[in-house]
Structure formats: structure tokens, C-alpha cells
């Protein structure tokens, strides 16, 4: 019954999308920094994959334990890998695992979330209960169990991604489900029904477009969790040992006591790489969260 205390009608033309995006980024520095770092990493990997001989990323391809020099800008490690090549390949592989596992996890989450929320009833009850039962279980430990029971030799990046996604889909499922539940009650869905739109039409044309910011945020946080999990397993020595995954490099470095033997560059470089990846993903996630939750955005 309250009068519609609306902001005065904006007669002027709304500035186009790009200007709005830039203005939003200026106000939301976290997202800007995150995107910048992420782009830098992508550039590093793309340029690296052309300019550097990727075979040097594997053991016994170059001289051992050389500190960073003109010839080996990132130096070499105890096993004779050129760390620059190793970093390029490692970043690329981490990205593959992250995006694969994150993407799959989000996809499962969106599908189950929609089914549970929109069709409700028995489907909703089972999906919700399964998610609630699985939530308290520490996901990383189960992944450790899975990884440790696999034969070391046939563990590849893809099996890693599969292990990671196995128990990562509950988060997005619950988030998307609650969003769809609130969206379903909104009046524009009733109006769409009145306009003769079918159930599927409502899901894909009316509800899904409004959920894009949430799905994007869920995807980024899934990639973050996937990269974190892959790194975690690698550091425990459960990853694909031959691949120069950042986690493997650090596991090998700490194993050989790199710090104490003065090879400081060996553990530092992958650590910085990992911090940049996870940090940028976390910042982007924070930015997307604000985009999805208008009230949070308002105060910047």
C-alpha cells in the first residue's frame, strides 16, 4: 500500500553497457584487480606456450639446480626441469583442472538446483536431503581417500578433475536451488504463466537469465575450490607425479628441503603462481557476489 517512492523518471538515455561496466569496475576495485591478475596469468601462459620449449618442463631436460639467469629466467630444479617451462605447463594444467572441474560442478549444481526448486515435491526432498547429508563430510578428505586408492600410474589431470568434481557439486546445487525458489515466487513468473509461457519457457527465458550473475559467481568459486583441491592433493603426493603441476613442484621442493639448500627460487615461483591464481579467483568471486546481490553493491 505504500506509495511508490520511485527515483524520478530518468528521461536521459542510459549510458551503454561498456561505460556502465567501466564505471562499475572503478567503484569495485577488488573485481578490477582480480580480473587484471587473471588476464596477466592467461597472457603469461599463452605467450609462454609459443616462446618456450615445453618439453623442458619434464625431468632431465636441462642442467640441475641453476639459479635464475638469462638462459633460465626462472632457474632449474633438482630434477633438471626448466622451471619457466614447468610454470607455463603447470599453469595451463591447473587451469584445465580448475575450469573442467569447476564447470562440471556448476553444471551439475545448476541442473539439480533447477530440478529441485522448480519441480519441488519428491525430487526437491531427495536432492536437498542428499546435499545436506554430504555437506558435513570434509570434501578434501574424501578426495584424499579416492586419490590414495587409485594406482599412482594412471592418475592424470583428467582423473584429478574427476575426483575433484565428485563431491564439489553440492555447494552450487543448494545456492542455485534457493535462488530459483525465490525467483519462482516473483510476480513476473506468474505474468509469464498468464501469457501462456510453458514450464520450460519460464525456466530458460524468464528465470535463467536473471540467475546469470549467481551462476557466474558459483562457477568462479567452484574453479577456486577445484584448483585448491588439485593443489592440495598434489602437495600430498597424490597428484599425477610426472606432470609439472604447481602442487607437484612445491611437493618436490619441500621434499628436497629446497629452502635449506639455498635453492629459494624453486618453491617460491610455484607458490607465487598459486597465490596469484587463487587470489585473483577469490577477488573475481567477491566482485561477482556483489553484482548478484544488489544490496551489497549499493554501498560501494
Residue 126 as a binder of another protein (CB under 8 A): the answer is no
Residue 41 as a binder of another protein (CB under 8 A): the answer is no
Site for another protein in 150-179 (CB under 8 A): 150-151
Which is nearer to another protein, 53 or 188 (by Cβ)? Answer: 188
Query: Applying CB under 8 A, which of residues 42, 120, 141, 199 lies at the interface with another protein?
Result: 141
* CB 15 to another protein: min, Å: 9
Site for another protein in 196-255 (CB under 8 A): 196-197, 206, 209-210, 228, 231-232, 235-238, 250, 254
Which is nearer to another protein, 77 or 290 (by Cβ)? Answer: 290
Query: Applying CB under 8 A, which of residues 9, 16, 51, 182 lies at the interface with another protein?
Result: 9
By rule CB under 8 A, what count of residues binds another protein? 80
Query: Applying CB under 8 A, which of residues 21, 36, 125, 275 lies at the interface with another protein?
Result: 275
- SS3 letters across the chain: CCCCCCCCCCCCCCCCHHHHHHHHHHHCHHHHHHHHHHHHHHHHHHHHHHHCCHHHHCCCCCCCCCCCCCCCCCCECCCCCEHHHHHHHHHHHHHHHHHHHHHHHHHHHHHHHHHHHHHCHHHHHHHHHHHHHHCCCCHHHHHHHHHHHCCHHHCCHHHHHHHHHHCCCHHHHHHHHHHHHHHHHCHHHHHHHHCCCCHHHHHHHHHHHHHHHHHHHHHHHHHHHHHHHHHHHHHCCCCCCCCCCHHHHHHHHHHCCCCCCCCCHHHHHHHHHHHHHHHHHHHHHHHHHHHHCHHHHHCC
Q: One symbol per residue from 186 to 205: x for binding another protein (CB under 8 A), - otherwise; what is it? A: xxx-xxxxxxxx--------
Which is nearer to another protein, 100 or 170 (by Cβ)? Answer: 170
Query: Applying CB under 8 A, which of residues 36, 148, 199, 261 lies at the interface with another protein?
Result: 148
Site for another protein in 67-106 (CB under 8 A): none
Amino acid at each position: 500500500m505504500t506509495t511508490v517512492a520511485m527515483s524520478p523518471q530518468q528521461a536521459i538515455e542510459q549510458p551503454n553497457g561498456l561505460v556502465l561496466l567501466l564505471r562499475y569496475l572503478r567503484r569495485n576495485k577488488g573485481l578490477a584487480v582480480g580480473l587484471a591478475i587473471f588476464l596477466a596469468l592467461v597472457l603469461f601462459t599463452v605467450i609462454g606456450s609459443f616462446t618456450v620449449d615445453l618439453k623442458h618442463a619434464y625431468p632431465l631436460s636441462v642442467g640441475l639446480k641453476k639459479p635464475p639467469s638469462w638462459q633460465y629466467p626462472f632457474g632449474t630444479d633438482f630434477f633438471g626441469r626448466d622451471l619457466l617451462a614447468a610454470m607455463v605447463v603447470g599453469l595451463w594444467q591447473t587451469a584445465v583442472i580448475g575450469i573442467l572441474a569447476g564447470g562440471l560442478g556448476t553444471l551439475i549444481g545448476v541442473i539439480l538446483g533447477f530440478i529441485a526448486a522448480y519441480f519441488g515435491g519428491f525430487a526437491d526432498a531427495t536432492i536437498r536431503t542428499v546435499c545436506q547429508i554430504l555437506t558435513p563430510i570434509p570434501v578434501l578428505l574424501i578426495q584424499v581417500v579416492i586419490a590414495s586408492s587409485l594406482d599412482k600410474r594412471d592418475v592424470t589431470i583428467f582423473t584429478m578433475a574427476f575426483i575433484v568434481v565428485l563431491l564439489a557439486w553440492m555447494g552450487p546445487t543448494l545456492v542455485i536451488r534457493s535462488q530459483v525458489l525465490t525467483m519462482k515466487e516473483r510476480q513476473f513468473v506468474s505474468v509469464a504463466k498468464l501469457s501462456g509461457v510453458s514450464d520450460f519457457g519460464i525456466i530458460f527465458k524468464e528465470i535463467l537469465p536473471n540467475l546469470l550473475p549467481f551462476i557466474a559467481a558459483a562457477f568462479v568459486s567452484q574453479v577456486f575450490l577445484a584448483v585448491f583441491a588439485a593443489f592440495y592433493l598434489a602437495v600430498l603426493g597424490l597428484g599425477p607425479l610426472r606432470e609439472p603441476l604447481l602442487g607437484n613442484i612445491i611437493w618436490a621442493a619441500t621434499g628436497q628441503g629446497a629452502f635449506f639448500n639455498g635453492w629459494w627460487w624453486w618453491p617460491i615461483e610455484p607458490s607465487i603462481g598459486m597465490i596469484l591464481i587463487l587470489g585473483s579467483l577469490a577477488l573475481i568471486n567477491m566482485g561477482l557476489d556483489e553484482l548478484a546481490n544488489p544490496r551489497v553493491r549499493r554501498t560501494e
